[in-house]
Amino acid sequence: MLVRKSVEQDIDRIMEVLADGRAAIATLGIDQWQAGYPFRDTIEADVAAGMSYVVEDEGAVVGTFMMTYEGEPTYDVIEGAWLTASDSAAQRYACIHRIAVADEARGKGVAKFAIAQGLSLARAEGAESVRIDTHPGNVRMRGLCSRMGFSECGTIYISHAGEGTPDRVAFEIVL
């Protein structure tokens, strides 16, 4: 497997992978992403900004994630405490968002590989830590974050949940 920055020609495939991820989340009985998020214009903006990545396996895109170093205003208010003292105005952390895996690659370690590569990218950029969040009911992602060394720090609230649950479990790992 390899990770590379997404290009405009990847967007249709990214949307397919996100649809697979949305369906997988639905099987858990949770409302995360069920109102259509992440939207195509969100992914197009991620790609244009150089923040979108794809995971390839044998030349095929099997996973996707977004990574930013610009700070996450949603993370400025947390019920709990981050491991590092940093906010979106003067951030020293990277964020990983919108991780999804294609159906045909499920169970092959794609999400773990994506997060590991994200951690490597963050180290190379000089980030102090990496933050990530997920729906409280997304036990698969919560378990993966814990197994990869992230600490559960508390609860944050997102504004783009639509009709869904806005609370998210927030994790951080110090690099």
Question: 93 with 130: CB under 8 angstroms?
Answer: yes
Q: Where residue 119 falls among pLDDT bands split at 50, 70, 90?
A: very high
CATH number, domain with residue 10? 3.40.630.30
Inform me whether the pLDDT recorded for 37 exceeds 90: no
- What are the structure tokens assigned to 158, written together? 């997102």
Q: Where residue 13 falls among pLDDT bands split at 50, 70, 90?
A: very high
Higher pLDDT, 134 or 31: 134
| pLDDT, tens digit (0-9, with 9 covering 90-100), for 137-152 | 999 999 999 999 999 9
| pLDDT, tens digit (0-9, with 9 covering 90-100), for 47-65 | 999 999 999 999 999 999 9
Burial of 79 (0-12, 13-18, 19+ CB in 10 A): exposed
Q: What is the pTM of this model?
A: 0.94
Residue type, 164: G
Q: How high is the pLDDT of residue 159?
A: 82
Q: What is the chain's mean pLDDT, rounded?
A: 94
Q: Phi and psi at residue 12, in whole multiples of 5°?
A: -60, -45
Q: How high is the pLDDT of residue 30?
A: 87
CA pair distance 153, 103, nearest whole angstrom: 30
Question: Which strands sit side by side in the sheet containing 93-101, from one edge to the other?
Answer: 2-5, 52-57, 60-68, 93-101, 129-134, 167-174, 151-157, 79-80
| pLDDT, tens digit (0-9, with 9 covering 90-100), for 62-92 | 999 999 999 999 999 999 999 999 989 999 9
Domain region containing 47: 2-174
The number of domains in the chain is 1
